[in-house]
């Protein structure tokens, strides 16, 4: 079966810093793929190149059989790939619900909005209902009318997920969705993402929390210094030589039979 998304030989450098080198990843429809790697290994940069926030220096990105590596971020969202940000920033003067509604992709044009036409009113009502349902699902209803800038770090992460979902993506890419989020809410995020996946959404998740990864992901791709070093099931991570090298390097214990690799990866990754 043709993958939904193909990343082919992507390279990206900033000056002399070769952040991504010959990166190849296939993502199939319906998968939940974890993207792991030590700090600075290139995970966010890879998400940025796929979603149009950085242009790759070379290579191809193919989504639904179309080349997308030259499209703008705005047009990539329209094709069906949405993403969240590792460090979301929120507009000072908009409330939570307004930020969510602004992320709706359906619009009826400037003049329709200005003239307050029935079509524009109906689109606004639909966006409001959709935003309210998503805010409820991500437990943000209590802060619906607060300035979005006043939200906590974890709540901003959740609002980022709501905004991405407003675009009805086929693929949702999440950059550390649970960093700074309370453990109880992490479980709720896992459940919410699993529900989205059951409804057909494909997910790519950058995450350091190994428990979260084991709960959620079908497959994991591991980056180390810009190279893919592993592509395996979550339960294989702790015994994968390349993954242990990437995370532990020289700190690897000599007696490997006693290695509690997953715990050590977790300690170093968090």
Ligand X SMILES: Nc1ncnc2c1ncn2[C@@H]1O[C@H](COP(=O)(O)OP(=O)(O)OP(=O)(O)O)[C@@H](O)[C@H]1O
Residues that bind ligand X (CB under 6 A): 14, 17, 19, 37, 39-45, 86
- The most distant pair of C-alpha atoms in the chain lies apart, rounded to whole Å, by 73
21 makes contact with Mg ion (CB under 5 A): no
Burial class (CB in 10 A: 0-12, 13-18, 19+), 232: middle
Smallest distance from Mg ion to CB 253, Å: 27
Nearer to ligand X, 19 or 25 (CB): 19
Distance CA 154, CA 141 (A): 14
Element holding 179 (H helix, E strand): none
Smallest distance from ligand X to CB 27, Å: 18
Nearer to ligand X, 69 or 137 (CB): 69
Q: In what order do the strands lie in the sheet containing 32-36?
A: 81-83, 171-175, 202-206, 32-36, 219-224, 227-232
Q: Are 221 and 36 in contact (CB under 8 A)?
A: yes
Please report, as residue ranges, which positions from 182 to 221 form the binding site for Mg ion (by CB under 5 A).
none
Q: Which of 21, 79, 86, 194 lies at the binding interface for Mg ion (CB under 5 A)?
A: 86
44 makes contact with Mg ion (CB under 5 A): yes
Alpha helices in 167-260 (DSSP H): 183-198, 210-216, 241-248
Nearer to ligand X, 86 or 259 (CB): 86
Q: Which stretch binds Mg ion (CB under 5 A): 37-45, 55-63, 139-147, 178-186?
A: 37-45
Smallest distance from ligand X to CB 44, Å: 3
Residues constituting the chain = 270
Site string for Mg ion, 46-85 (x = CB under 5 A): ----------------------------------------
Q: Which does 41 bind (CB under 5 to 8 A by kind): ligand X, Mg ion, none?
A: ligand X
Distance CA 198, CA 102 (A): 26
Q: Which residues bind Mg ion (CB under 5 A)?
A: 43-44, 86
């Amino acid at each position: 079966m043709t993958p939904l998304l193909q990343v082919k030989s992507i390279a990206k450098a900033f000056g002399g810093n070769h952040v991504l080198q010959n990166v190849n990843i296939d993502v199939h429809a319906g998968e939940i793929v974890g993207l792991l790697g030590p700090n600075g290994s290139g995970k966010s940069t890879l998400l940025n190149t796929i979603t149009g926030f950085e242009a790759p220096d070379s290579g191809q990105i193919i989504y639904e059989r179309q080349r997308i590596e030259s499209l703008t971020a705005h047009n990539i969202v329209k094709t069906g790939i949405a993403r969240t940000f590792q460090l979301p920033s929120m507009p000072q003067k908009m409330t939570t619900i307004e930020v969510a509604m602004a992320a709706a992709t359906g619009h009826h044009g400037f003049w329709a909005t200005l003239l307050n036409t029935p079509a524009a009113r109906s689109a606004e009502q639909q966006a409001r209902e959709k935003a309210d349902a998503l805010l409820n699902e991500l437990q943000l209803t209590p802060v619906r009318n607060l300035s979005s800038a006043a939200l906590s770090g974890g709540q901003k992460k959740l609002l980022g997920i709501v905004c991405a979902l407003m675009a009805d993506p086929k693929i949702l890419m999440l950059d550390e969705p649970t960093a700074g989020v309370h453990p109880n809410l992490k479980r709720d995020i896992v459940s919410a993402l699993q529900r989205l996946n059951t409804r057909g959404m494909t997910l790519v998740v950058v995450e350091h929390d190994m428990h979260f990864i084991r709960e959620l992901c079908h497959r994991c791709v591991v980056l180390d210094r810009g190279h893919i070093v592993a592509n395996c099931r979550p339960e294989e991570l702790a015994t994968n030589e390349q993954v242990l090298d990437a995370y532990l390097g020289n700190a690897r214990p000599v007696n490997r039979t006693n290695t509690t690799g997953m715990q050590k990866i977790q300690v170093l990754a968090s």
